[in-house]
Amino acid sequence: MKRVCVYCGSNPGRLPVYREIAAELGRELVRRDLALVYGGASIGVMGAVADAVLENGGEVIGVIPQSLATREVAHTRLSELIVVTSMHERKALMAELADGFVALPGGWGTFEEIFEVLTWAQLGIHSKPCGLLNIANYFDHLALFLQHAMDERFVREEYRPMIIMEQEPTVLLDRFSTYQPPQVRKWISPDET
């Protein structure tokens, strides 16, 4: 693994701990010689993780659509800032550049991004690890909902290992380093409907 894509908010969130742990993740990426791929903003949780990587001598690749470069305040000190034409291009390029995906607390965009790469893993498009860094129990209710989706048989239990949830950056990245995608059948047969 060489690069980790981090999805997170361009807002700071209600609690200071969101930015504090985002910075801790950034420092841990540098300690492990892992580059950061992220959405390219200089503010919010996004800015915190990028700044921590940069301040500790790590590599940061930002990918931002032209339409958001001004609104999200594109980070000007990155190792590389790639300006693309659309959100679709942004997400596809981030996925291509990364060897794993971590969601930190964020909003609609963060949810959509992690669920898209998780869906791609389920479909066999990639076999990269996907994780939630559960800062201040932010994802607890989501974890309950995901279990509900499994209980209701809309998500197969065999797919559970495809999303790793931890509270500490070191533990999450340790699990990424040993991740083996589950080997499951991708489609149900007509008699299982």
Q: What are phi and psi of 64, to 5 degrees?
A: -140, 140
What residue segments make up the domains of the chain, in order of their start?
Answer: 3-173
pLDDT at 68: 87
pLDDT at 192: 58
Question: Mind listing the pLDDT tens digit of every residue in the chain (193 residues)?
Answer: 999 999 999 999 999 999 999 999 999 999 999 999 999 999 999 999 999 999 999 999 999 999 888 776 899 999 999 999 999 999 999 999 999 999 999 999 999 999 999 999 999 999 999 999 999 999 999 999 999 999 999 999 999 999 999 999 999 999 999 999 988 766 556 565 5
pLDDT at 32: 98
- Within a 13 Å sphere around the CA of 176, how many CA atoms are in the beta-carbon half? 28
Residue corresponding to tokens 């389920």? 122
pLDDT at 185: 67
pLDDT at 88: 95
pLDDT at 191: 60
d(CA 46, CA 104): 9
Give which of 173, 148, 159, 160 is closest to 124, Cα–Cα. 159
What is the distance of C-alpha 37 from the center of its chain? 9
- DSSP SS3 for 188: coil
Q: What are phi and psi of 129, to 5 degrees?
A: -70, 145
**Which value, in Å, is the radius of gyration of the alpha carbons in the chain?**
16
Q: Write the CA distances from 33 to 80, 81, 83, 93, 173, integer angstroms.
A: 17, 19, 25, 21, 12
Predicted confidence (pLDDT) per residue in 3-47, tens digit? 999 999 999 999 999 999 999 999 999 999 999 999 999 999 999
- The top-level CATH class assigned to 3-173 is alpha beta
What is this structure's pTM?
0.93
